[in-house]
Amino acid sequence: MKKQFSVDPNLCTGCRTCELACSFTHTVDGKAGRPRIYATPGGFEDLWVPVTCLQCDDAACVKSCLVDALKRNPETGAIELNEAVCVKCMACVAACPFGCALVDPEQDKVIKCDLCGGDPACARFCPTKALTYKPSELKASKIKVLG
């Protein structure tokens, strides 16, 4: 079965280990990358949500890219951004309704979650298992942002 992120905000303590893990995994030339995942306040006391890309089926980022720099990796299911192709028009950054395509100003490029090639560091390092990466049936496109 396809693996997916599973998030349980009730377990998240907002320790931001996921962000650090992501950042260091995406180090280039000694420069740590900007995290693709953000532990974000969930609106209630002690409630944190690790917001990360859900690799949507009918992804807005892929649709918005006019030069086809975003393609799904058939092995991992991740929508990967090909840096060599990206023209930095920011269409995907603007289009993602979850805010999961973003700019890394330090490395001067557009970034998004690539599932670390199939074993996401964020989930691996989450001390409370609020974030796990495991087989799941949930369709990402079923999640809608409530107003």
Q: Which is nearer to other proteins, 32 or 95 (CB)?
A: 95
Indicate whether 89 belongs to the interface with other proteins (CB under 8 A). yes
Q: Which of 15, 20, 32, 90 binds other proteins (CB under 8 A)?
A: 90
- Half-sphere exposure of residue 33, counting CA atoms within 13 Å on the CB side? 22
| Binding segment (CB under 8 A) for other proteins, from list 18-26, 27-35, 118-126, 137-145 | 137-145
DSSP state string for 72-103: E-TTT--EEE-TTT-----HHHHH-TTS-EEE
Report whether 4 contacts 136 (CB < 8 A): yes
Min dist. Cβ of residue 32 to other proteins (A) = 19
- Half-sphere exposure of residue 80, counting CA atoms within 13 Å on the CB side? 16
Q: Which of 91, 121, 122, 126 binds other proteins (CB under 8 A)?
A: 91
Min dist. Cβ of residue 9 to other proteins (A) = 4
Indicate whether 138 belongs to the interface with other proteins (CB under 8 A). no
Closest CA to 132 of 42, 55, 18: 18
Q: Which is nearer to other proteins, 37 or 78 (CB)?
A: 37
Interface with other proteins in residues 53-82 (CB under 8 A) = 60, 63-64, 66-67, 69, 82
Extended beta strands in the chain, E state: 3-7, 38-41, 48-51, 70-72, 79-81, 101-104, 109-112, 131-135
Indicate whether 140 belongs to the interface with other proteins (CB under 8 A). no
Q: Round the CA-based radius of gyration of the chain to a whole number and report it.
A: 15
Applying CB under 8 A, which residues contact other proteins? 7-10, 38, 40-44, 47-49, 51, 60, 63-64, 66-67, 69, 82-91, 93-102, 143-146
